[in-house]
């Protein structure tokens, strides 16, 4: 259980760091780039991937798609935390699990039981209530709802792609993960170089330091999540439920208490329904077994 707690702490810390980035005027794209440099370095250190196994026959279309999506969604994640706060962003990220579930049904023709259908239905209501705003609230900032929507869709698609990598048996998953981090770093670096050449940003040491800190916690989230699944190999649904519920609850507490994020009664209702949705989906996995 300690691995689940550590993974939750790392996940929420990433959101907190992105929240603080606005206060201290950190360049997100620079921090994200260094984040992937730190992540691939830690991946090499802890997982010791065999790069010799990477050949032209590897699933390069998935690698390239993830390399573009990961830094892009990270920027939307940062924008969502900045504009809507930790609470709503964390819920958008966690409820993105609906996309791989829907993909399993429509693409992979997986059977759905009643519990999963109930969970999905509650989840979609939760999404609506969590992001509901009164018409007179933040009229000039309507576009900010785009950010959590992109987080929701983006993380869902990323999850589907990573699941496809996990099913690719010709290469160890950790080797594929290392390859994705390398490519994501290169994509981010190209963006930074182009922005520096255009005079839009300047390289600053503080962004590099923040990027390494961000990368440490980002990788920690992945490492401890994988260790939790290994330690509780016979109870994957326990890891799934504890992780998602833990992030939603911890993110809500930190957002409301530490950052004074304002939520309406309908938003709180959405949070409660989001928790209920995760519980039903977890129960549905047990029912299948």
Confidence of residue 288 (pLDDT cuts 50, 70, 90): low
Alpha-carbon torsion 23, 24, 27, 33, what sign? Answer: negative
Chain-centre distance of CA 261, in angstroms? Answer: 21
How many whole angstroms separate alpha carbon 42 and alpha carbon 69?
21
Say whether pLDDT at 136 is over 70: no
Contacts of 148 (CB under 8 A, 6+ apart): 80, 84, 88, 89, 92, 131
pLDDT at 135: 53
- Both tokens assigned to 193: 């170089």
Kindly report the CA angle at 95 between 274 and 171, in degrees rounded to 5? 145
For residues 62-86, give the mean pLDDT. 94
What is the reported pTM? 0.88
Confidence of residue 289 (pLDDT cuts 50, 70, 90): low
Confidence of residue 276 (pLDDT cuts 50, 70, 90): very high
Chain-centre distance of CA 120, in angstroms? Answer: 19
Confidence of residue 40 (pLDDT cuts 50, 70, 90): very high
Please give the C-alpha separations between residue 134 and each of 147, 266, 269, 273, in angstroms, as whole numbers: 18, 10, 15, 20
Tell the residue number behind the tokens 């993909």, with chain if given. 103
pLDDT at 140: 46
For residues 203-222, give the mean pLDDT. 95
């Amino acid at each position: 259980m300690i691995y689940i707690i550590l993974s939750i702490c790392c996940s929420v810390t990433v959101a907190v760091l992105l929240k603080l980035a606005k206060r201290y005027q950190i360049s997100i794209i620079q921090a994200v780039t260094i984040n992937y440099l730190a992540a691939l370095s830690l991946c090499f250190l802890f997982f010791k991937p065999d790069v010799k196994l990477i050949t032209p026959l590897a699933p390069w279309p998935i690698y390239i798609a993830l390399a573009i999506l990961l830094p892009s969604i990270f920027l939307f994640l940062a924008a969502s935390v900045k504009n809507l706060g930790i609470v709503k962003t964390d819920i958008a990220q966690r409820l993105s699990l609906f996309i791989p579930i829907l993909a399993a049904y429509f693409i992979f023709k997986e059977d759905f039981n009643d519990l999963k259908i109930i969970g999905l239905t509650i989840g979609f209501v939760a999404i609506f209530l969590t992001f509901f705003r009164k018409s007179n609230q933040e009229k000039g900032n309507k576009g900010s709802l785009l950010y959590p929507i992109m987080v929701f869709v983006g993380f869902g698609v990323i999850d589907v792609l990573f699941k496809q990598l996990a099913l690719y048996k010709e290469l160890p998953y950790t080797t594929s993960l290392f390859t994705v981090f390398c490519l994501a770093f290169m994509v981010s670096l190209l963006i930074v170089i182009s922005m520096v050449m255009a005079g839009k940003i300047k390289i600053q040491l503080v962004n590099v330091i923040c990027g390494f800190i961000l990368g440490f916690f980002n990788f920690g989230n992945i490492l401890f999540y994988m260790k939790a699944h290994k330690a509780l190999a016979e109870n994957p649904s326990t890891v799934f439920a504890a992780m998602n519920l833990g992030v939603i609850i911890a993110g809500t507490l930190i957002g409301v208490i530490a950052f004074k994020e304002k939520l309406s009664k309908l938003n709180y209702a959405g949070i409660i329904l989001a928790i209920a949705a995760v519980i039903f989906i977890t129960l549905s996995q047990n029912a299948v077994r």
